[in-house]
Amino acid sequence: MSAGFKLLIDGRLVDGATEFDVINPATGVSFAKCPKADIAQLNEAVAAAKSAFRAWSTTSIETRAEKVSSLATALEARAEEFAKLLTSEQGKPFNQAMQEVMGGVSILSAFSRARLDDKIIRENVDATIIEHRTPLGVVAAITPWNFPLALLMNKIGPALVAGNAVVAKPAPTTPLTTLLFAALANEILPAGVLNVICDENDLGAALTAHPDVRKVSFTGSTATGKKVMGAAADTIKRVTLELGGNDAAIILDDVDVAAVAAKVFQSAMANAGQICVATKRVYVPSSLYNEFCNALATIADSVVVGNGLQDGVQMGPLQNQKQYDKVCAIIHESASLGEVIAGGEPLKRDGYFVPPTIVRNIPDDAALVREEQFGPVLPILAYDDLDELIDRVNASAYGLGGSIWSGDVQRAIGVAKRIDSGTVWVNQFLAMDPDIPFRGSKQSGIGAELGEEGLFEYTQPHIINALTVSA
Ligand code: NAD
């Protein structure tokens, strides 16, 4: 096995039952082997977590927080090594990979400062009523391939501080940074508190249905999220589902076109568009439509696309062959329904490279507008009436994020309040912080990550309702 990546089960770094290739999306060629767990190893991992939970959940929160803080310190100390591996498996440019790693450090650090104090609901001469929170037990943490490390930290940070034990399962095309983190964590955490298993999309169903898993924290597509919710039903597992989105950027008629177009472009094309809260459709007043489309096309033409480990590269490849094929098919269909004004053809080289592609004059019912493209292709749509536009935006089954752009912040906030999404940014994009809860509306998810609510998701609240007079 090239870099000796191992599963982590019960404090032991072990081989899988078999192994599979991990492809570098910038070359299309395998660069490492990943150990693949079988059902027996999945069951061992859950049993190890269940057993470790007994002691871990009774240590003080300060002790657990100290361990999570040590994870942050250890990750930061090896940030460049993690970032390089992240670029190799995920494709994003090295500087963006560093941002993801350091984002993971700050998430762990933030949760290491979190505490779960009892909440006094009522206290008077007659009664004391307290809300007290305890950890749940074994948490399954399932992650996708677009931010494999940061999204894992969103789950591990709060789950461990709250006193849970975790079985993590990364996406099969980006398992390596999770395995590197597992080896690092094994030096810090007691055996069984964190277990990591890998699969080829074949163990998720068994993990989410496992009777000893009390909670599933899942980030991924809405289609898989529905399966997770179904699998959780039998034992009424707690679920946090962070799912897909089709975020709209709404441009109001008072903007500085050049400045706003540059920011909207970044909001759509960072990580080659593979962000749950990327801008996936842009709505521009008819009066500014041509100017805005031209500005976006000019920026698109200037982007340096290539291997993220090379200096000066601004956009990497799509992460995997399946996503590349999907995005190419959407571009192909869009070219027949609208007008492609930048990009449009995959690069003729090895790897999964698609240049930033801008499409105008495309109907609302095109797949590019209705579905989550999850790639560097952006539809620009015109509007005349703001009320009608809000109905068009809210007609989506998704409700994850979105943004409003205006010279008048109060006006923009008024529009933002009418968008049925978990988060709406005004005059900025992708502004996430460990202390701001993040959640989806409609089919974009259930439950929150980050913030105090993101910690509460890993706890069971108990009401203690005591009469003050003695029995
Ligand atoms: P995916 O749903 O295909 O896979 C996500 C994870 O689920 C992987 O680890 C996969 O192996 C696992 N899985 C597969 N089948 C399963 C099953 N039956 N039960 C349980 N787990 C199973 O998603 P993806 O293609 O890896 O990621 C892209 C999607 O993730 C996009 O839709 C994107 O919007 C979404 N996403 C959402 C957020 C958010 O916070 N809302 C963040 C990042 C990505």
At residue 3 the predicted structure's pLDDT band, cuts being 50, 70 and 90, is low
Indicate if the pLDDT at residue 458 is higher than 90: yes
Single out the residue of 96, 100, 89, 103 nearest to residue 172, CA to CA. 89
Model confidence over 361-412: pLDDT tens digits?
A: 999 999 999 999 999 999 999 999 999 999 999 999 999 999 999 999 999 9
Partners of 216 in beta bridges = 140, 239
Pairing of strands 127-135, 459-467: antiparallel
Q: Which residues pair with 133 in a beta bridge?
A: 461
Across the range 62-75, mean pLDDT stands at: 98
What would the pLDDT profile of 111-158 be if each residue is shown by its tens digit?
999 999 999 999 999 999 999 999 999 999 999 999 999 999 999 999
| Pairing assessment for the beta strands 441-442 and 398-399 based on DSSP bridges | antiparallel
Give the whole-angstrom CA distance, residue 107 versus residue 69: 10
Q: According to DSSP H, which parts of 93-246 are helical?
A: 94-112, 148-162, 176-186, 204-209, 222-233
Instruction: Provide the CB-side half-sphere exposure for 424 (13 A, CA).
Output: 22
Strand, coil or helix: what is 427? coil
The band of 468, judged by pLDDT with boundaries at 50, 70 and 90, is confident
DSSP-assigned beta bridge partners for residue 217: 141, 240
Task: Convert the pLDDT of each residue in 192-238 to its tens digit.
Answer: 999 999 999 999 999 999 999 999 999 999 999 999 999 999 999 99
CB distance 105 to 285 below 8 Å = no
Ligand 1 pocket, residue 164 CB under 6 Å: no
Find the mean pLDDT for residues 53-58: 98
Cβ of residue 338 lying under 6 Å from some atom of ligand 1: no
Query: Residue 194 is encoded by which pair of tokens?
Result: 């964190």
Please state, in angstroms and rounded to a whole number, the distance separating the CA atoms of residues 403 and 82: 31
Instruction: Give the residue numbers annotated as catalytic, written as ranges.
Output: 242, 276
With a 6 Å cutoff on the Cβ, whether 201 touches ligand 1 is: yes
User: Looking at the predicted structure, is the pLDDT value of residue 469 above 80?
Assistant: no
* pLDDT band, residue 471 (cuts 50/70/90): low
Would you say residue 279 has pLDDT above 80?
A: yes
- Cα of 15 from ligand 1 centre, angstroms: 25
> Residue 394: what pLDDT?
98
- The pLDDT confidence band at residue 42, using thresholds 50, 70 and 90, is very high
Q: Is the pLDDT of residue 164 over 50?
A: yes
Say whether 228 sits in a helix, a strand or coil: helix
Percentage of the chain exceeding pLDDT 70: 99
Q: What residue ranges in 300-444 does DSSP mark as E strands?
A: 339-342, 357-360, 377-383, 398-399, 403-405, 425-426, 438-439, 441-442
**Is the predicted pLDDT of residue 2 greater than 90, yes or no?**
no
Nearest residue to 16 via CA among 179, 213, 171, 209: 179
Secondary structure (H, E, C), 12-39 = EEECCCEEEEEEECCCCEEEEEEEECCH
Check pocket membership of 224 for ligand 1, CB cut-off 6 A: yes
- Pocket probe for ligand 1: among 177, 224, 443, the residue whose CB has the most ligand atoms within 8 Å is 224
Rounded to whole angstroms, the Cα distance separating 148 from 90 reads 8
Using most ligand atoms within 8 A of CB, pick from 219, 274, 319 the residue to mutate for ligand 1.
219
Q: Write down the mean pLDDT value for the chain.
A: 97
Residue type, 321: Q
